[in-house]
Amino acid sequence: MRCQCTDLPNLADAIFFVNEPGQLRIAASPIGRAHMNSMYAHLEWGDCSAWRDFGLPSDWRSLVIDAREVIRAKAVRPRVPIDSLRQEQLERMLFTGVALRCRAAWLDYSDKNDPKVEILSRDDH
């Protein structure tokens, strides 16, 4: 499916984007934030000025996190030691966890000429 950046707020409650190694950017609607806040403590949401091109509604907020630190602070631990996982694996782990609760979109800009969007959602959303 092809879509524009401005379509994403209608398709997802949380949008994930990695622009620098170790820095996972997330923008989320009130629904997406509620789910993420219930899963991970101490998330500090800010404005979405860096997401201007996405046409996000005014009630969306964003943050930049280190997935390793967020998972380390979580009480539930992966089956393998956190330090043995690559940063990309940890970021996808967060994304998948959120997608189990609400609609989530993963933006892949590894090929600047052909960016990809993956949208995951439980069937009952």
Q: What is the mean pLDDT of residues 26-37?
A: 93
Assessment of whether the complete model's pTM goes beyond 0.85? no
**Amino acid (1-letter code) at residue 82:** I
Estimate to the nearest angstrom the gap between the alpha carbon of 64 and the chain centroid: 10
Under 8 Å between Cβ of 53 and 9? no
Residue 117 scores a pLDDT above 90: no
What pLDDT, in 10s, does the model give residues 38-87? 888 778 999 998 888 888 999 999 999 888 787 777 655 667 777 788 88
Give phi and psi for 80, each to the nearest 5. -115, 155
Under 8 Å between Cβ of 89 and 95? no
Q: What is the pLDDT of residue 58?
A: 92
